[in-house]
Amino acid sequence: MAGVPCTDDARSDEALMFAESATRFVLEIEPQNMDAVSKALRGTRFGVIGTITERPNLKVRSVKAGWLMDEGIDGLKKSWLGTLDW
């Protein structure tokens, strides 16, 4: 959850992943547009939480150190859909 703006009391992986605090937005921005978006968001707390790569995995970095998760998207989708198949 490295990169997520937060206060010190919320600086745990669990709090950042599951807390139901104030609304957040996720923007997908092409790299060449990052400067313009940064300027538009001036005065607003924001952070870069990831990048899109060719590798079909969801990789989540811990705020403490290392990785919390590095899982293939197909397996994650199967697990998620499995909870709806009852």
Question: What tens digit of pLDDT does each residue of 29-78 get?
Answer: 999 999 999 999 999 888 888 888 899 999 888 887 788 889 999 999 99
Structural domains in the chain (count): 1
Q: Do the domain assignments include residue 21?
A: yes
- The answer to whether the Cα torsion of 16, 56, 68, 35 is positive or negative is negative
Q: Do the domain assignments include residue 3?
A: no
Question: What tens digit of pLDDT does each residue of 10-33 get?
Answer: 678 887 777 776 677 888 999 999
List the domain range (segments joined by +) for residue 19: 8-82
For 39, phi then psi, to 5°, come to: -65, -40
Q: Alpha-carbon distance 31 to 54, whole Å?
A: 15
Q: Do the domain assignments include residue 28?
A: yes
The pLDDT value recorded for residue 86 is 67
Q: Do the domain assignments include residue 1?
A: no
The pLDDT value recorded for residue 2 is 61
The pLDDT value recorded for residue 37 is 95
For 69, phi then psi, to 5°, come to: -155, 145
Q: Do the domain assignments include residue 32?
A: yes
